[in-house]
A and B are shown apart, each in its own frame.
Chain A
Amino acid sequence: MVEYFNPKADPNKDYGTPASLSQTLVTLNIDGVEVSVPEGTSVLRAAALADINIPKLCASDNLEAFGSCRLCAVQIEGRRGYPASCTTPVEQGMQVTTQNDKLGKLRRNIMELYISDHPLDCLTCPANGNCELQDMAGAVGLREVRYGFDGENHLSAPKDESNPYFTFDPSKCIVCSRCVRACEEVQGTFALTIQGRGFDSKVAAGQDQPFLESDCVSCGACVQSCPTATLMENNVIEQGQPEHSVVTTCAYCGVGCSFKAEMKGDQVIRMVPYKGGEANHGHSCVKGRFAFGYATHKDRITEPMIRDSIDQPWRAVSWQEALEFAADRIKAVQAKYGRESVGGITSSRCTNEETYLVQKLIRAGFGNNNTDTCARVCHSPTGYGLKTTLGESAGTQTFDSVMQADLIMVIGANPTDAHPVFGSLARRRLRQGAKLIVADPRDIDLLNTPHLGESHHLPLRPGTNVALINALAHVVITEGLEDRAFIESRCEPEAYQQWREFISEARNSPEASESITGVPAAKVREAARLYASVPNAAIYYGLGVTEHSQGSTMVMGIANLAMATGNLGREGVGVNPLRGQNNVQGSCDMGSFPHELPGYQHVADDAVRQRFEQAWGVQLDDEPGLRIPNMFDAAIEGTFKALYVQGEDIAQSDPNTQHVEAALGSLECLVVQDIFLNETAKFAHVLLPGASFLEKNGTFTNAERRINRVRKVMPPLAGMEDWQVTQALSNALGYPMNYSHPSEIMDEIASLTPTFTGVSYDKLEQLGSIQWPCNEQHPDGTPIMHVEDFPIGKGHFAITEYVATEERASRRFPLLLTTGRILSQYNVGAQTRRTDNQVWHDEDVLEIHPHDAEERGINDGDWLGISSRAGETVMRAQVSERMQPGVVYTTFHHPGSGANVITTDNSDWATNCPEYKVTAVQVEKVTQPSHWQQRYRSFNEQQQTLLRAGRRRSAEPH
């Protein structure tokens, strides 16, 4: 019997060694069973695929075979001895025996050695019930340890409890090196090593330091790979092994990692990255893996609350009362100020279904198009720029595609901090020899990848992206490096000719732009030649591209460069926005923008609108509504009076905080739906408790257009999932909604959105995940876009004239501030600040180059006043060589640091995406917090008191 085993293996089983990608099949005989597997597969894996499970300890299918434990020894006809099956590749006709008396004895005797240096505390060990060592002792039938237990051993090795999430107990270590290999091969950090040799070999972090002080980034790969209790989650140590698990999707960044939420009842014990997740293949970062404790934090809002004005205490009320209160106020505002005087903001944290419902409520219930979302302040230029040039508002690739790239160009993104799991994948490819170009004002960590080969850093000045991308394209065109065949067959000829003439002009040359970007012309030429010359070049970019006055221009410039070199439409290439939030792609797809219905269908398109009107049973406004900054302006003007905000903290995340605060203070009705009293909620009249991602069903769409299921693992703390709240509010407003499950909402989305027609919960269950477009042409979804043609037919080269931002360094504000994210904190920090991730970053600091620091007499840790034309704030200094002179950097994870008090309301010409990345500032030493900070402190204290006054119960952890 010849069997062919589907390479799509069971994600819940460990096959011992990674899958081989070979197309050639090899047939061998294992214990009398004929097995056909791809060439290059190990004997261990081939056997496991046939459900012949050879004992193993050091092997794991996310790591290269290592061959240290020797338990997987087998006998192979015609070969001497007992080769390890993990390191032995299959061969045609091989005859393998995996079980006989000799092998049994050998394995038992090896196991006996292991256990002779292992504590015999199985019953009280945290790994009890889920320990590979225990399983293997059972599998080989170990019955005694003849060596006794008074020989040399490691049983008194002290524990390292420095990490807040896991404990390292070396007394239980079997030195299988899985943790060390995971840190190297999976995570790419190389923080762990084996120290000493022979019997003294031991796992050590860094230079034999505590984990917390080493280079460890707490991704959890080592903990996951440990076959014993040596590296163990503190939650498991404290609470025991979980009893069931649910696969769901992480609610942090746009990578969209799949996790198994491992549960005890309705309590999450641990989040374990799920091997079946196509975005992460079983890897994770410190946030998704460990920072979920916020979901049961005592600050959770667990009951609806209302108040007449923001200086009054909150009153906890029933859902019905709160919803009626909100509906009455919204109706009253509309009666008084008109239909257009209200609006809403959808959440990029919430599910597709919830986002869809909010914009539906606004368009159909409020009767206007005043809907917007946080993508306004992050990737709206991506939507505009890519739609204009390539015809679709999304990245072109899968994450896995990077493994085919010969060159990775990263522009304005810091993946190892902001998209860590993708950062690890990119590092894996870089270790394999792919070349790297980084265009970023800062010396980001990707440039310091261990075992990195050729790399180029183009440290441009903030705000000069377009000049740089034009210079790169100029070199490609003027040196004849373009892909003529691709351009001729795939792109509009007329637009190309115009662009070609434009880009060839001398003012776009690297030499001409050197004085603008600060990047030497020779380096630009070298980078351009490299990008154009390799078989596969892939661009990854982030908010360092979009959050500029020319964000949309830059996105188009990137698309131009990719088209000109034919780097689109196959594996290993493409234009890839690294999206910030878990569902920012989805919130855009779901029609959150004021001008677009779901699927980026314009509201002015009569045919489109008619379909929606028919389905929704109302007449729709054909005029685009207000964008977020327009809402703020209109609120201050007095024409915009009520706002419904779901899962979004505009008071902290949007630029020019004082302007936002003025706008929020002008509203007559602010309804905030959130899991915490966030900064925005402090200005609210109605506070509707949100549900965390653990408390609801739905879908998130990640940066590779992948729709992943979010599954409820615990009931919503306040009783309602977010979509149910929106539905109830809509009903209270008189626009009926009647869904009994998010799958019904998805069915409605599919019926109205051409790129989603094939999507359903049934298909998601079947396939695991789906990358849109998923429709008749692409029934299983579309991993790589633009393979045959573009949605607009031919690719469109757009003219990308560089226009300097008005925000420039002056005598008054001589430094340029740019902002970003760090690994341990996430966005406004509402979640991560309520976890132990605080140990890594408990305050925002200002990074400044030693030269600028010295000029101002600044030392590490000094309090600095940072002022811009928008405002002032105070933070501590961190003198850092990562900066270039003239540029300073901070994060906005802590509301009290007031990073966005300084950022201005400059924005992208096309989409109003704020120019967070360029703010002219001055920095000086100070001794006290800024006025804004003092005001913020007292306002915050007041609001916390008002909350406490109204609260009947808090969400104590169970």
Chain B
Amino acid sequence: MMSLKIFVPCDTTALALGADKVAAEIAAEAAERGAAVEVVRNGSRGLFWLEPLVEVETAEGRVAYGPVAVRDVKELFDAGLLSGGQEHPLCQGLTEQIPYLAKQQRLTFARAGITDPLSLEDYQAHDGFKGLRKALQSSPQAIVDEVKASGLRGRGGAAFPTGIKWQTVLDAQPDGEQTQKYIVCNADEGDSGTFADRMVMEADPYMLIEGMTIAGLAVGADQGYIYLRSEYPVAHRILDQAIEKAEAAGFLGENILGSGRTFRLEVRLGAGAYICGEETSLLESLEGKRGLVRAKPPLPALVGLFGQPTVVNNVLSLAAVPFILAEGGQAYADYGMGRSRGTLPMQLAGNIERGGLIELAFGMSLRELMEEFGGGTASGRPIRAVQVGGPLGAYLPESQWDTPLDYEAFSAVGAVLGHGGVVVFDDTVDMSEQARFSMEFCVEESCGKCTPCRIGSTRGVEVIDRIRNGERPEQNLELLGDLCDTMEFGSLCAMGGMTPYPVRSALTHFPEDFNPQGREADHG
């Protein structure tokens, strides 16, 4: 008799919510009842408000239950869990039909939560390594052309066209054809409210491995590094195992799939500095030095890791590549709007009823995202502000919530999409405190190389404190404005350069919060 598959995610969010105990309880309960059950530890679907999301395989498809606590397990069994019974209030119906998931356009996260992250069979059964096989039959230029055709732009936040970056590295040959080149994956996911990179690595690591291998084939690099933040121990374990398995199975390492081509991959851990998500300080850190930002030019594409031409891409950029190669650049470019092609995995967090990952083609509005998917705030109070694009992203007031999710449209309102993190605040938020926090974050995380960021952020906190205390508000507001200009125009990298974004947006859209009386009145 085939045993019944029950899926309990092994993703960090699910684990944090007790998934291990739930899995153990399910196995124990099944054993007690003499049921043949195989508990599969899949990745997360990204419906975090339902985690731990337990799924049961049925002929109609997987039936979802969530959020499941250990104490619910016996009850669920009683309510017909093993046959996909839909009576229990925790039952969400067929997973694929949960609106939150059904309404998404999942290209990058197509396999997330469906497969066992470390199963090569699962991966291949769901189109895995199709892109790699195609790449192995293509010329480097043809691969680069396909990526260019997809319109893919860097998902780390800078939105630089990936294909053009790859072209630069492909063409860079300072030491002739023997030039050592590198592929570096930026997995130092440190933006507040973001988790898409982690989900890729925990739910579908082979996709990242495949994407990096294709990048290596495209530009002529035989060595790749994944620079992973040390705060992701689960991803670390999964990646290491996945690399080992992929290598053993001939998808990675020497003579990939008998092609004679080589690509080796290693995971390197960061040391807890946000600034090491900036590509040049990431390279410094990877070289074993202090995480200090480098001036550009030279671009890392020409003078990167250990001074060699290097592709530095975000996890999501590299993860999009297998699809692009497998289905063709046009298939990817068919999604999206304007110059923002393909899909963007948004990460909904903060004070929100239904937090999670939402992969959609560019073009949907922020309001739809927060209301249709997010279901409003968790506190039940009205949404007042939303920060998009991490701690350096602007706060958007309600007047801007209809802005479509599109790089250019966001830029036009002085905001950024960044890495797709969305953090929601209700009407109890004090926006002057948030502005202060932005400066404080910069104080904490500045590498200290350039003056505007090193000294400016500390002065920023002090000036905002004075404003909040009502000290010479007019002069200090002017000074804060000047400081924001100095940091934006003068800083060496986006750390100092973008810290003014949240500060200015808070000042512009929520000026009343900077007035001590106003603050008292509103939030007393």
Contact = CB atoms under 8 A, between A and B. Distances in A.
B and A form one assembly: yes
Interface of A: 65-70, 73, 81-82, 84, 86-89, 105-106, 109-110, 113-114, 116-117, 146-147, 151-152, 174-175, 177, 193-194, 196-201
A375 to B, nearest CB: 44
Interface string B450-462: 1111111111001
20 contacts: A70-B491, A81-B489, A105-B482, A110-B451, A114-B451, A146-B479, A151-B459, A174-B451, A175-B448, A175-B454, A193-B290, A194-B290, A197-B291, A198-B442, A198-B443, A198-B445, A198-B448, A198-B457, A198-B458, A199-B443
B459 A113 contact: yes
Interface in B274-305: 275, 290-292, 295-297
Given A106-B485, A106-B490, A152-B458, A200 B297 contact: no
B282 to A, nearest CB: 15
Contacts of B457: 198-199
B294 to A, nearest CB: 8
Given A110-B490, A113-B459, A116-B455, A197 B448 contact: yes
B57 interface: no
Interface in B478-504: 479, 482-483, 485-486, 489-492
B273 interface: yes
A747 to B, nearest CB: 52
B133 interface: no
Contacts of A65: 295
B504 to A, nearest CB: 16
B446 interface: yes
Contacts of A88: 297
A519 to B, nearest CB: 33
A67 B295 contact: yes
Nearest to A150: B462
B444 A198 contact: yes
Contacts of B22: none
A564 to B, nearest CB: 30
B360 to A, nearest CB: 29
B475 interface: yes
Interface in B56-96: none
Max chain B C-beta neighbours (<10 A), residue from A81, A147, A151, A175: A147
3 pairs of A and B residues whose beta carbons are closest in the complex:
A201-B448, A67-B295, A87-B295
Contacts of B295: 65-67, 84, 86-87
A200 B448 CA distance: 8
Given A81-B489, A106-B490, 17 more contacts: A66-B449, A69-B450, A73-B489, A84-B492, A105-B485, A113-B455, A114-B451, A151-B458, A151-B462, A194-B290, A194-B448, A197-B446, A198-B443, A198-B445, A198-B446, A198-B454, A198-B457
Contacts of A67: 295, 449-450, 492
B489 A82 contact: yes
B68 to A, nearest CB: 43
B448 A109 contact: no
Given A73-B489, A146-B475, A146-B479, A199 B290 contact: no
Given A70-B491, A113-B486, A199 B451 contact: no
B449 A68 contact: yes
A196 B445 CA distance: 11
B26 interface: no
A196 B292 CA distance: 11
Nearest to A64: B295
B463 to A, nearest CB: 7
A194 B295 CA distance: 17
B290 A70 contact: no
Contacts of B388: none
Contact of A147 (B273, B445, B479, B492): B479
A110 B448 contact: no
Contacts of A193: 290
Max chain B C-beta neighbours (<10 A), residue from A73, A146, A196, A199: A199
Determine chain A's interface SS by DSSP, over half rule. Answer: loop
A199 B446 contact: yes
Contacts of A73: 489-490
Contacts of B442: 198
Contact of B448 (A89, A105, A113, A196): A196
B447 interface: yes
Nearest to B446: A198
B293 to A, nearest CB: 9
B489 A117 contact: no
A82 B489 CA distance: 6
Nearest to B486: A109
A186 B214 CA distance: 42
Contacts of B448: 175, 194, 196-201
Max chain A C-beta neighbours (<10 A), residue from B275, B449, B455, B479: B455
A86 B456 CA distance: 21
B452 A70 contact: yes
Nearest to A199: B458
A649 to B, nearest CB: 48
Contacts of B443: 198-199
Given A106-B485, A151-B462, A198 B490 contact: no
A113 B463 contact: no
Nearest to B449: A68
Nearest to B445: A198
Contact of B483 (A109, A194, A199): A109
A82 B488 CA distance: 10
A197 B451 CA distance: 12
B158 to A, nearest CB: 13
Contacts of A117: 455
A107 to B, nearest CB: 9
A70 B459 contact: no
B478 to A, nearest CB: 9
A201 B453 CA distance: 12
Nearest to B490: A70
B486 A110 contact: yes
A194 to B, nearest CB: 7
A86 B486 CA distance: 18
Nearest to B488: A81
A110 B454 contact: no
B499 to A, nearest CB: 12
B482 A109 contact: yes
Contacts of A147: 459, 462-463, 479
B275 A197 contact: yes
B273 A197 contact: yes
A197 B447 contact: yes
Contacts of A146: 475, 479
Nearest to A73: B490
B475 A70 contact: no
Nearest to B444: A198
Nearest to A176: B451
Contacts of B456: 113
B449 A199 contact: no
Nearest to B483: A109
Contacts of B463: 147
Contacts of A175: 448, 454
A70 B450 contact: yes
Max chain A C-beta neighbours (<10 A), residue from B291, B453, B475, B489: B489
Contacts of B454: 175, 198-199, 201
A87 B298 CA distance: 8
Contacts of B462: 147, 151-152
A105 B444 CA distance: 27
Contacts of B296: 87
A200 B444 CA distance: 9
A113 B479 contact: no
Contacts of A69: 450-451
Nearest to A146: B479
Given A70-B450, A109-B483, A201-B454, A87 B459 contact: no
Nearest to A197: B448
A216 B95 CA distance: 66
Contact of B492 (A68, A116, A151, A194): A68
Interface in B406-464: 442-459, 462-463
